[in-house]
Structure formats: C-alpha cells, structure tokens
Amino acid sequence: MASTSDIRNGLCIKYNHDIYKIVEFLHVKPGKGPAFVRTKLKSVTTGKVIDNTFSAGHKIEDVRVETHKFQYLYAEGDTYHFMNTDDYNQITLEKSTLDAPGLLKEGEVVTVIINSEDQMPLSVEMPASVILEVTATEPGVKGNTATNATKPATVETGAEVMVPLFINEGDKIKVETEKGTYKERIKE
C-alpha cells in the first residue's frame, strides 16, 4: 500500500476495480482546509482518462510493474505487434493501450509496462520524441510570414503535424510524442 505522497507520473494503481496509470498530478495545499492531490488517471484497459482528487494521506493500492524494451514491428488493423529486444518474444497490443499510435514508426523501440502479477502488458511508453520524414505538405508562400505561422504536414506514419512554413516534403522533423507537436527540423 502506498499513500498520496508516493504519487508520481507513470505510477500504476488499482482504483474502482480497474488499473489506472497516473498521467498528471498536482499536490494542493489550500490556506483553509486539508491538503489534497488532484490527479488525471488513464485506464490501461479502456484508455479512458478521468480526473480524481485524493485527500492527503489517502491509501492507494499500487500495482507492481516491470518495464521491458520492445521493438515495434507492424500494425494489423487495431492490433500492433511488438518484439522483446532481449528474448525476441512477440506480443500484440490493442491500439487503445498506445499513447500516440500515429507517431509509431516500424523499428521504433518503446518501453512496455507489464503487470508483475499476471504478466499482462498495461501500457506503452513512447520515446520523448521521434524523427519522421514529411511526405506531404503545401509549399510555404513567400511573404506569408505572420508570426508563428504553421501549416499541416503529413509524416511517413500517416499522422498530421502542424509545422512552420519553411518545412518542405522530404524534410526530416523531430516530433514531441506526448503532445504530437513539431520540435525542430533535422539537418542531415
């Protein structure tokens, strides 16, 4: 058993007969009344995100988890196939367990969180950023340079990312996986 002081991003807990992963949290100590922790929880079974508030010192049941490196192989409809980089065993996961499936490129190495008790995969953590090639975008028009002007661009995985006007087809860009936003252009 853990308490609210042990809450951190990525912690998996049992709550309401389901397993949730803590996505965001904030310790709040108001001037009047007891302290509490405001959290955003993501169900690892359904992918649904809920807001919840725990009072300070509340006991939470944490889930023992292991992390393993898996390489993304391919997608088949809504199922994604991964291979363990240590023992080469393969697993399949549903699209709902992935945080950003649109940014997942074949061969990408991700961290899979597995429940230690029953060896069930709970969620997939993407790298902080991925490098993808732009396959389609409108050309930027000269003189159309308002502050921070952006345009949509389709990357090699099929996802759409808003990019600055100077990005062209064939450019490689770094995309932040948590928000799905453009970070920088990669020079080769």
Model pLDDT for residues 89-138, shown as the tens digit of each residue = 888 888 877 777 888 888 889 988 888 888 888 778 888 888 888 888 88
| pTM as predicted | 0.70
Cα gap 64→13, rounded to integer Å:
9
State the pLDDT at residue 164: 86
State the pLDDT at residue 60: 87
Cα gap 13→43, rounded to integer Å:
10
pLDDT at 16 over 80: yes
